[in-house]
Structures are given as C-alpha cells and as structure tokens.
Structure 1
Amino acid sequence: MMPLMRMKEAAEYTGLHPNTLRKYIDRGLIKGVRIGTHRFVEKTELDRIMGRLPSPEDNTAIIYARVSTRKQAEYLKRQRERLIDYCKNKGLKIVDIIEDIGSGLNERRRGLKKLLKLIREGKAKKVVVEYEDRLARFGLGYLKEIFDDYGVELVVVNQESKSPEEELVKDLIAIVTSFSGRIYGKRGAKRIIQTIKEESVHV
C-alpha cells in the first residue's frame, strides 16, 4: 500500500488548502481514502497533481470496448479488434485494453471504474472508443470533464452511433421502468414497456 497522508499533511505538502483537496477528492480528480472519520490521500496522487511524476507519452492510449450482454461476446471481440487496428494505424501505443459487459446507463461498470482509475494515475493521454455511447449513454459530458482535467483526449473512431437496436430498446426500458414506475405505478410502467417492445419489432 502506498504511503498515506492526512489532509493537513497533504495541504502542507502541496501548498493547497485542505478544502481544495477535499473538492478534488469529491470530484474524482484525486483518489482519497476514508479511515473512520478521517480522510487520507496517497502521496503518489499528490505528486501526480503537482506534476512531480513523469507524464505519459502523448501517443499512449487506453482502449475501451463495451457491449450490453454476454450474448454479444462476438461483437465485443470484433469491436476490440477494430480498435486495436485503429491504434496501430495511428501509431498509438496501447497501454491497456478494457472490456465491459453491461448497460451504458450503469455508472458502476467494473471496466469504467478501472478506466477512471488509470486516468487518475496518469497512465495514458488518450482513451479510444468506437462510438461515444460505448463509454456512456448519458452523463458523457461529466466524463469528458474528468478527461480534460487530467489532460486526456477522448478519441471516438466513429462519430455516428450505430448501436444494436436490441441494446437501445433495453436501455430505453431501463429508463422507463425507473421513471414511469414512480409516476404511473407498476401496472402503468408495464403497459408502457410492452408498447416499447411491440413498437421496436416494427422499426
């Protein structure tokens, strides 16, 4: 485990106000550790934000690929291969390849968490995805802000979203289930979901 510093020590080490460091932790800009009622920060995290660690090369890249279900394993494999080919053709140095299986609405995806961890650690200068919605269906703006804060560029190979219809329907159903259940009750939500499924067949 890396050496931990209390907030007061971290403030003295960096010259930043403790409240500023707390804001950085809350925004995910640096990784904090809570032990009991006290917050700690790894010394390497402080070194990184103060520019004391060597910066990664400009051509370093992390590949991120995602599908919604395990049934799409073959599509995930092809997605990964296309991204690898893209990086090779562009002369990018691949430092990690992250694959996720889960909805683009799920912000707790294991792969997404790993990606953000690598970004915080300064492992690469670019994140390469096939489509924007591979990274997230909603809230992409917040992720881009985090990338910008760490000087990381999001590279989208294809600007036009072409996600499989089945996946789009599944995500739409997840949204409807969450909100219409509160407004119309469970029965109303079920009727709306059934309508979405029936209409999607004719699209």
Structure 2
Amino acid sequence: MGDINMKAKEVLELLKISRPTLTKYVKEGKIRVTVMPNGFYDYNEEDVYKIFMKGVERKTYIYARVSTQKQKKDLENQIELLKQFCFNKGYKIHGVFSDIASGISFEKRNEFFKMLDDVLAGKVERVIIAYKDRLSRAGFELFKHLFRKFNTEIVVVSEVGNEKLDSQEIIEEIISLLHCYSIKFYSKRKIQKIRKLLESEVFEDNSQESRTDTDK
C-alpha cells in the first residue's frame, strides 16, 4: 500500500463510516491526506487499512493445487499435510481452497481467486501452502510482495520442489498473470511485445549460464 492514496468515496465505502467521521479521523491524525490541485483530499491507503483491519477477524487459509484430475489423490494428501501442519502450529483453519489446474492456467484457478479476494480485503493473516510452486512457480515473489502489502503472510511448509524452471513455462505463467490481472489494459499487440521481451531476457540469461558453465 505505502504511498498509494484513495478517494473519499472509496474510504467511506470500505470503512462504512460517515463523512463527518472521516473528517474526524483526519483531524486526529489517524488518516494522512494529500491535498490535490483541485482542493480535494486523497487519503493514505495504509492508514485507511490499519483502521479497517482493526475490526476484521484475521483468518488462516490453506491452499493446495495439482495440475490434472489424475493427481486428485495427491491433492487430498496435500490438504491433509497442510491440516496437520496447522494442527501442530496451533492454527485454526478458517478456509480450505484447492484447484485442479496447471501452474500457468490462472483463469481456471477459481478457488485461488476467491482466496485472493479475501486477502485484498485485509481479512487473511496467513496463507499456508505445501510448496512455493503450488501458488506460482515464476510469480511467487510477486505474490509474496502483494500479500505482504495486506499484512498477509505466506507460509511454505516445505522448500522441496522443482526449483529448476522451464524458460517457456516462466513466460507462459507471466503472460497468464497479465491476462488475468491486466487484460483490460493490455492490447494483444502489447502482450506480444511483452512476450518477446521476456523471451529475449530468458535467452540472454540462459546464454550467460552456458558461458559460466563453460568457464568452469
């Protein structure tokens, strides 16, 4: 959230308060404001969410994923592993979310987006996953950064996993994320441009790795 600001209407709707109460919060220094050129106020998002989250029960969610229907038993085992982990840690589980979809098929991960809605609403204290790639292979750090902005911790039960990422899969996953989050803002032409940039960067990285291996 940081220096991002909100409009008065957004603050009133989120906090479910009246305008006089909002004015009171500003006078008390609870919400910082930025005076815009037109004389209106923009309200500091971080301050707004601090107030919002005081009245919200913070939840613990677990999220599991497998790629195909044939792995359904693996999905069940994954969920049991996460439940046992929560039991051992003393975490009360408020929600179990799971998807059967490949890592690059974000549009098919309906449960993930249900969970994400609650994260973005500031309702989730922690999300527990078995491995990093259950959430995202290429975009894990991106989600970690995003969740942290809403005071949500991602807990990874095991660091064991497929750490070697296929270059094409990285590209496809990022493109899939762009389609899910930014399809309204990116034309097909821009998507293709981004794809080419990513491919060139991955090719360059692979070339550097090859040169390094040769030097060894």
Say if 1:122 and 1:150, in contact at 8 Å, map to a contact too.
yes
Give the match's secondary structure for 1:111: helix
Look up the match of 1:127.
Answer: 127
Say if 1:95 and 1:123, in contact at 8 Å, map to a contact too.
no
Say if 1:120 and 1:150, in contact at 8 Å, map to a contact too.
yes
Write the distance in 1 (CA, Å) between the matches of 2:141 and 2:87: 28
Q: For structure 2, which runs of at least 5 residues remain unmatched after alignment?
A: 1-5, 12-18, 23-30, 35-39, 176-191, 197-216
Give the match's secondary structure for 2:93: strand
Look up the match of 1:35.
Answer: none
Write the distance in 1 (CA, Å) between the matches of 2:55 and 2:93: 18
Say if 1:47 and 1:53, in contact at 8 Å, map to a contact too.
no
Give the match's secondary structure for 1:134: helix
Residue correspondences, number: 148
User: CA shift at 1:117, angstroms?
Assistant: 0.8
Look up the match of 1:85.
Answer: 84
Say if 1:129 and 1:156, in contact at 8 Å, map to a contact too.
yes
Over 3 Å counting, the alpha-carbon distance change for 1:99 and 1:16 in structure 2 is farther
User: CA shift at 1:47, angstroms?
Assistant: 6.3
User: CA shift at 1:123, angstroms?
Assistant: 2.7
Q: For structure 1, which runs of at least 5 residues remain unmatched after alignment?
A: 1-5, 30-45, 184-203
Say if 1:95 and 1:124, in contact at 8 Å, map to a contact too.
no
Look up the match of 1:50.
Answer: 51
User: CA shift at 1:48, angstroms?
Assistant: 4.4
2:87 is the alignment partner of 1:113: no
Write the distance in 2 (CA, Å) between the matches of 1:86 and 1:113: 23
Q: Which runs of 4+ in 1 moved over 6 A?
A: 18-21
Say if 2:60 and 2:95, in contact at 8 Å, map to a contact too.
yes
Q: TM-score scaled by structure 1?
A: 0.58
Give the match's secondary structure for 1:148: helix
Write the distance in 2 (CA, Å) between the matches of 1:136 and 1:173: 10
Letter in 1 for 2:51: M
Give the match's secondary structure for 2:99: strand
Look up the match of 2:153.
Answer: 153
Write the distance in 2 (CA, Å) between the matches of 1:140 and 1:173: 11
User: CA shift at 1:124, angstroms?
Assistant: 2.5
Write the distance in 2 (CA, Å) between the matches of 1:156 and 1:19: 40
Say if 2:120 and 2:150, in contact at 8 Å, map to a contact too.
yes
User: Where in structure 2 are the equivalents of 1:10-21 lying within 5 Å?
Assistant: 10=10, 13=22, 16=33
Look up the match of 1:62.
Answer: 61
Q: TM-score scaled by structure 2?
A: 0.55
Look up the match of 1:139.
Answer: 139
Letter in 2 for 1:120: L
Over 3 Å counting, the alpha-carbon distance change for 1:16 and 1:10 in structure 2 is farther
Look up the match of 2:93.
Answer: 94
Identical-residue share of aligned pairs (%): 30
User: CA shift at 1:79, angstroms?
Assistant: 0.5
Write the distance in 2 (CA, Å) between the matches of 1:142 and 1:86: 24
Letter in 2 for 1:51: F
Write the distance in 1 (CA, Å) between the matches of 2:170 and 2:51: 45
